[in-house]
Structures are given as C-alpha cells and as structure tokens.
C-alpha cells in the first residue's frame, strides 16, 4: 500500500514546531506502508529527501507567519498548484492523506480524486474557514460563502475524516451529518520527553534559578494573543519576584509583544528564539508550568495545540486561558488550571498554591505525565492511526474494484 501524505507545514524533530505528521507518517512506514509526503520549504529549489523511510518532496514555496494575509494566501495557492503537479507524478498511489490547515490542501485531494481516481482521508486540525472568519481575517461575504462551500465539499467527498479534538469533530458533524469521523488528537511523545528534576546549571543559564517558571512556546501570532500573558506578568511583578516567564518562539506578533514588554518594564519575562524539539527539552527542564494561550474567539477553544501534549509528556501542568475540552480535561485530571484572560490580576492567585506548597506542584506534574501516558501516548495514537489508514485503504480498494 502506498499513501500520498500532503501537509504544507511538515516538520521534523530537528526543525521544531508541530511534529504530528512526522510521527504519523513514520508510524505508517514502520507498519510496512510506503509513504511519499509533499510539503514546502523556504528554499528556492525543489528537493527530495529520505526522512527515516519517508520520501519527502520539498516544494519551493516561501511561507512565514509574519507574512500579511495576501502573502499567506498566495503561498497557500502556490503550494496547492505545485503539490498537485507533484502528486500526479507519484506512481501507484492507493490513498491520499491531506492535512488542513490550510483548507486549500483539500483542493489537491479533491483534484486527485476526480482526475486521478485516488480516494483521500482529510485531517482537520482547525475548523476552517470558521477560525479566520471569527478572527476577522476573512470578511468578504462572497469569499466566506465560497470557502464554506469548499469546506463542505471536501468533507463530503472524503473517504474518511480525522479530527484532532472533540470540538472539531462536532463542528464537522454539523457540516456533514452522518459522515465517518475519527478522533485522533495530537500525540504526547513519552519516550522523547521525560519528567526530570531541574538542572541547576540550565536554570542559571536561562536566568531563572530559584524561580517558579511559567513558559509559553510556539507560534507568536494573532490567534495566540500573548498580550494576556504580558499583563499577567505585569500583575505578578507587583506581588512577587519569585515567578519568571519565558516566551519561546517566533511569529508576526513578536515585535509588538517586545515593545509592550518594554512599555510594561517587565523584569520577570524573557523572550527566547524558536527552538527545535531537542532544545525544547532543555527549556521544559527549567519550566514548572506551561501557558497555553488563545484569543477569546469561540472556535479556537476547539483546537488541539501540540504544545499541550509536549507539556503533558514532560510532566508540566498547563495554565489555559480558554474554555473547551482542554480546560475541562486539565481541571478534571488536576494537571492544570484555568486563568481568566479578562482578569490578569487573578493569575498570581492561581499559581500561588504551587509556590506555597511545592508538593502540590509535584502532584500536578505527575498527573500531567500520567495523562500523557494513559490517554495521548504516541505509541497508542499512532497505532490507532495506522489501523484507520489500513481500514480506509482496504475499503477504497474494494470500492474501486466494484
């Protein structure tokens, strides 16, 4: 069986960012399934590499979170065109697995189904176009109608759909009632990330020795609204010098946040550059709790942020500033807390019990690791993913012969 895997934003452990597709594609290869993956890179020429048995096609499509709306749209469309052309040259494909976002990867899958007779599974990591519409990025009424119609058509023609969260699954079901939808959240790599005691040398190197450290890592974009964290840091600074904040990553909003931090005269917060997964382990070693942030937009609460699962695997409780399934999960499992973004002055009250009673922090950390191992382990979820792909592939073969 050969699977054509299409993901515009594929990353390996050495590149950092979301490594979900790396884990899933690698699991297919380990199960004896041939995988060719089409993605992009910020280099001017096309390249093909073997990534641990995955044949990866890198298309020359520049993309950066700091690009404006028009620049990102051009990148999405350019990738869709080049990816389709590349896909048509890949022989003997049995199944296409297309990953959203962006939604335009669905155009590639639709075209391959209609003109190449290749069935596809569609993975939904964010509800598009609902997310950019609620964020106010897409306002044109005609464009909204076209994108919602495209979303429905992509869902309808998919052989199967994979959703990354219960909220996303429910959102898809409202668009295409009765459609087969599988729930596979992002994975917690409990082998790669471990619960470890703080390394005093690392803590000193990061300038956080003797502090309770709250870390945000990942994309610094509009949807993350990290202004919330800066106001929380500002409030904490008036109360204690025992708490330190780290913001690790890159994105369009980074310059604005740096200016705001300077305006607030924050002495308890440091910005660190984007790191790969290996360096992230050092960051998490000196971290006591991870901050997961979204703007106050309803659809964003349905997300499945990979940073949440990395944090759980490393045994770090999560402070979340949004509702939805993740808030319910961390509160029920006592591995995190909700921090109200509208009341930054209450942030300290949520973390003060960890300062006062270190044993409580240790208990929350153990609960986080246990949740990673029992509900979201890489081995467990990738095994389920492989089963789904094999099932869909076999059924599609039967339908094709019929």
From CA 31, how far away is CA 384, in angstroms rounded?
12
Tens-place pLDDT, residues 75-118: 999 999 999 999 999 999 999 999 998 999 999 999 999 999 99
Quote the pLDDT of residue 359: 97
Q: Is the pLDDT of residue 401 over 80?
A: no
Decide if 56 contacts 242 (C-beta within 8 A).
no
Residue closest to 339 by CA, chosen among 250, 201, 235 = 235
Task: Give per-residue burial for 88-121: e unless 16+ CB within 10 Å, then b.
Answer: eebeebbbbbbbbbbbbbbbbbbbbbeeeebbbb
Task: Give per-residue burial for 198-227: e unless 16+ CB within 10 Å, then b.
Answer: eeeebbeebebeebbbbbbbbbbbbbbbbb
Tens-place pLDDT, residues 10-65: 999 999 889 999 999 999 999 999 999 999 999 999 999 999 999 999 999 999 87
Q: Is the pLDDT of residue 395 over 90?
A: no
Decide if 214 contacts 291 (C-beta within 8 A).
yes
Residue closest to 360 by CA, chosen among 340, 329, 331, 335 = 335
Decide if 97 contacts 1 (C-beta within 8 A).
no
Banded model confidence at residue 399, pLDDT cuts 50, 70, 90: low
Query: How far, rounded to the nearest angstrom, does the alpha carbon of residue 13 sit from its chain's CA centroid?
Result: 14
Long-range contacts of range 57-65, CB-CB < 8 Å, 24 or more positions apart? Answer: 57/86, 59/83, 59/86, 61/8, 63/8, 63/9, 65/219, 65/220, 65/221, 65/250, 65/251, 65/252
Quote the pLDDT of residue 237: 96
* 330: its two tokens: 């961390």
Decide if 89 contacts 65 (C-beta within 8 A).
no
Tens-place pLDDT, residues 325-345: 999 999 999 999 999 999 989
Quote the pLDDT of residue 276: 96
From CA 392, how far away is CA 60, in angstroms rounded?
31
Cα–Cα distances (Å) from 66 to 220, 254, 294, in that order, read: 9, 9, 18
**Domains (range + CATH), the chain:** 2-187+377-401 (3.40.50.2000), 200-375 (3.40.50.2000)
Task: Give per-residue burial for 280-308: e unless 16+ CB within 10 Å, then b.
Answer: bbebbbbbbbbbbbbbebebbbbbbbbbb
DSSP secondary structure of 99-133: EESSTTHHHHHHHHHHHH---EEEEESS-TTHHHH
Measured in Å, how far apart are the chain's first and last C-alpha atoms? 19
**Is 399 or 2 the better-scoring residue by pLDDT?**
2
Decide if 128 contacts 137 (C-beta within 8 A).
no
Decide if 132 contacts 39 (C-beta within 8 A).
no
Q: Is the pLDDT of residue 263 over 60?
A: yes
Average pLDDT of the chain is 95
Residue closest to 144 by CA, chosen among 164, 155, 128, 160 = 128
Q: Is the pTM of this model over 0.75?
A: yes
Q: Is the pLDDT of residue 390 over 70?
A: yes
Residue positions counted in the chain:
402
Quote the pLDDT of residue 117: 93
Quote the pLDDT of residue 398: 64
Quote the pLDDT of residue 69: 81
Quote the pLDDT of residue 101: 86
């Amino acid at each position: 069986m050969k699977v054509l895997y299409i993901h515009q934003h594929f990353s390996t452990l050495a590149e950092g960012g979301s490594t979900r597709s790396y884990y899933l594609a690698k699991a297919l290869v380990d199960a004896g399934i041939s995988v060719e993956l089409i993605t992009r890179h910020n280099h001017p020429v096309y390249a093909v590499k073997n990534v641990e048995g995955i044949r990866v096609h890198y298309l020359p499509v520049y993309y950066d979170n700091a690009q404006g709306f028009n620049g990102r749209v051009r990148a999405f469309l350019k990738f869709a065109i080049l990816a389709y052309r590349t896909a048509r040259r890949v022989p003997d494909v049995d199944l296409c697995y297309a990953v959203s976002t962006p939604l335009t990867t669905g155009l590639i899958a639709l075209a391959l189904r209609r003109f190449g007779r290749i069935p596809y599974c569609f993975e939904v990591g964010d509800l598009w176009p609902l997310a950019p519409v609620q964020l106010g990025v897409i306002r044109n009424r005609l464009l909204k109608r076209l994108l919602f119609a495209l979303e429905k058509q992509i869902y309808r023609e998919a052989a199967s759909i994979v959703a990354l969260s219960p909220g996303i699954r429910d959102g898809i079901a409202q668009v295409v009632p009765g459609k087969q939808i599988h729930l596979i959240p992002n994975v917690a790599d409990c082998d790669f990330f471990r619960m470890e005691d703080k390394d005093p040398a690392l803590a000193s190197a990061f300038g956080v020795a003797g502090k309770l450290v709250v870390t945000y890592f990942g994309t610094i974009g509009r949807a993350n609204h990290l202004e919330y964290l800066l106001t929380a840091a500002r409030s904490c600074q008036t109360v204690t010098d025992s708490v330190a904040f780290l913001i690790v990553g890159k994105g369009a909003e980074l310059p604005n946040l740096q200016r705001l931090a300077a305006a607030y005269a924050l002495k308890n917060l440091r910005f660190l550059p984007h790191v790969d997964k290996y360096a992230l382990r050092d960051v998490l070693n000196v971290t006591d709790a991870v901050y997961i942030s979204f703007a106050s937009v309803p659809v964003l609460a349905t997300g499945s942020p990979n940073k949440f699962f990395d944090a759980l695997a490393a045994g770090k409780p999560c402070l979340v500033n949004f509702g939805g399934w993740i808030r319910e999960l961390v509160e029920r499992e006592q591995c995190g807390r909700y921090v109200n973004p509208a009341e930054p002055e209450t942030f300290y009250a949520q973390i003060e019990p960890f300062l006062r009673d270190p044993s409580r922090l240790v208990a929350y950390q153990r609960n986080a690791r246990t949740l990673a191992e029992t509900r979201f382990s890489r081995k467990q979820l990738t095994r389920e993913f492989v089963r789904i792909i094999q099932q869909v592939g076999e059924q599609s073969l039967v339908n094709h012969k019929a």
